[in-house]
């Protein structure tokens, strides 16, 4: 019989504001401490997600990224400091996560996420938080999470606009929302169009909140709902999402039953440089 995790006096003090919450309590805090989350990209969205999940006490946090910290990242990527410029993002992320909470296990995946390694990496975690900003990685993560029966907390941002949702197996997927990727070059990325730095904190924090709600089994999930944020007007609206019975991945007659070549699927003529595809963090 597995003995339940016992909180130390220091842990009771650290997590006291959780423990006194009726919907969390000591049992909920233990759930978080026994859970694991994978962050795709140590960038604008992955940074606040990783910070708040570690502060909450999520026991194991994986970071997938193959990029190095650049000065232009610091406008929004709060996992990294000026002194980290030039360092691998995963190393900077680990150091700063542990400075927030040294009890967290931080696992580094300094590699491109590919069709060859996605199952092995994603399969190690309970929940996945996606901070990728390129379509090839987004479709890859979506397909891998669905095929592995993993919940996916998805977010995206550009200029002053943000979106967040949750994809749970059986309740729709990213392909239901976007059946096909846009033609290459049609949708600019943050390096081309820019993004308000604080917006990444807002959307990344929403992703962390959804992850914690899922771990605790409380509240109403963003599953089947797309939260759309206009930061200029500070208006939030919801778009209802439905599982598409004709979806090639999660539909009634699926044709996507294994991971594919996502660069070809998205029309990428050449394999991008590591900084462009790795985790594709914004």
40-62 pLDDT, tens per residue?
Answer: 999 999 999 999 999 999 999 99
Does the pLDDT of residue 275 top 50, yes or no? Answer: no
In this prediction, residue 278 has a pLDDT band, given cuts at 50, 70 and 90, of very low
Residues 194/265/260/225 CA torsion (nearest 10 deg): 60
Identify any residues that bridge with 193 across adjacent strands, giving them in sequence order.
none
pLDDT of residue 34: 97
pLDDT of residue 188: 74
Whether 7 maps to a domain, the answer reads: no
pLDDT of residue 2: 57
Query: Average pLDDT over the chain, rounded to whole?
Result: 92
> Into how many domains does the chain fold?
1
Closest CA to 172 of 137, 142, 131: 142
Cα end-to-end span (Å), the chain: 44
CATH of the domain at 178: 3.40.50.720
Q: Say how far apart CA 127 and CA 131 lie, in whole Å.
A: 13
Q: Long-range contacts made by residues 220-223, C-beta under 8 angstroms, separation at least 24?
A: 221/166, 221/168, 222/164, 222/165, 222/166, 223/165, 223/166, 223/167, 223/168, 223/171, 223/172
Whether 141 maps to a domain, the answer reads: yes
pLDDT of residue 184: 79
Whether 10 maps to a domain, the answer reads: no
252 CB-near residues (< 8 Å, 6+ apart): 245, 246
If you ran DSSP here, which 8-state letter would residue 248 be given? T
Whether 3 maps to a domain, the answer reads: no
Whether 121 maps to a domain, the answer reads: yes
Whether 6 maps to a domain, the answer reads: no
Degrees to nearest 5, angle at CA 190 with 184 and 195: 145
Pairing label, strands 105-109, 36-40: unpaired
Does the pLDDT of residue 231 top 60, yes or no? Answer: yes
Percent of the chain with pLDDT over 70: 93
Question: What does the pLDDT average to over 88-102?
Answer: 98
Whether 92 maps to a domain, the answer reads: yes
Q: Say how far apart CA 244 and CA 175 lie, in whole Å.
A: 9
- In order of 44, 79, 158, 164, 227, the CA distances from 161 in angstroms are 14, 22, 5, 11, 11
What values do phi and psi take at 81, rounded to 5?
-115, 170
Question: What does the pLDDT average to over 81-98?
Answer: 98
In this prediction, residue 281 has a pLDDT band, given cuts at 50, 70 and 90, of low
Q: Which H or E run includes 164?
A: strand 161-167
Pairing label, strands 235-240, 225-230: antiparallel
pLDDT of residue 183: 83
Edge to edge, the sheet with strand 235-240 lists: 105-109, 60-64, 36-40, 127-130, 152-158, 161-167, 225-230, 235-240
Full residue range of the structural domain in which residue 55 is found: 22-277
Whether 94 maps to a domain, the answer reads: yes
77 CB-near residues (< 8 Å, 6+ apart): 42, 43, 44, 47, 69, 200, 281
Q: Say how far apart CA 164 and CA 238 lie, in whole Å.
A: 10
pLDDT of residue 236: 98
Dump pLDDT digits (tens) for 148-205: 999 999 999 999 999 999 999 889 999 999 999 888 777 777 778 899 999 999 999 9
- In order of 1, 11, 15, 87, 136, the CA distances from 6 in angstroms are 15, 9, 13, 37, 42
């Amino acid at each position: 019989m597995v003995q339940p995790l016992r909180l130390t006096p220091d842990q009771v003090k650290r997590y006291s504001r959780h423990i006194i919450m009726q919907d969390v309590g000591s049992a909920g805090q233990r759930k978080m401490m026994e859970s694991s989350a994978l962050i795709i990209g140590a960038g604008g969205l992955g940074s606040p997600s990783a910070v708040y999940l570690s502060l909450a006490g999520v026991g194991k946090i994986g970071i997938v990224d193959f990029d190095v910290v650049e000065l232009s990242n610091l406008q929004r990527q709060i996992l990294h400091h000026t002194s980290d410029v030039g360092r691998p993002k995963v190393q900077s992320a680990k150091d700063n996560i542990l400075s927030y909470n040294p009890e967290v296990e931080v696992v580094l995946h300094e590699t491109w996420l590919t069709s060859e390694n996605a199952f092995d990496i994603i399969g190690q975690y309970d929940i996945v938080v996606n901070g990728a900003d390129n379509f090839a990685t987004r479709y890859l993560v979506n397909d891998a999470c669905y095929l592995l029966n993993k919940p996916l907390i998805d977010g995206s941002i550009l200029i002053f606009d943000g979106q967040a949702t949750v994809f749970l197996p059986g309740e729709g997927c990213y392909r239901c929302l976007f059946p096909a990727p846009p033609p290459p070059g049609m949708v600019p990325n943050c390096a081309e169009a820019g993004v308000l730095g604080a917006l990444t904190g807002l959307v990344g924090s929403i992703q962390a909140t959804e992850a914690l709600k899922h771990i605790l089994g409380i509240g109403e999930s963003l599953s089947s709902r797309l939260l759309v944020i206009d930061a200029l007007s500070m208006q939030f609206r919801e778009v209802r999402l439905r599982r598409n019975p004709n979806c090639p991945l999660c539909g009634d007659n699926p044709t996507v039953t294994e991971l594919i070549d996502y660069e070809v699927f998205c029309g990428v003529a050449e394999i991008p440089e590591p900084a462009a595809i790795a985790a594709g963090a914004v």
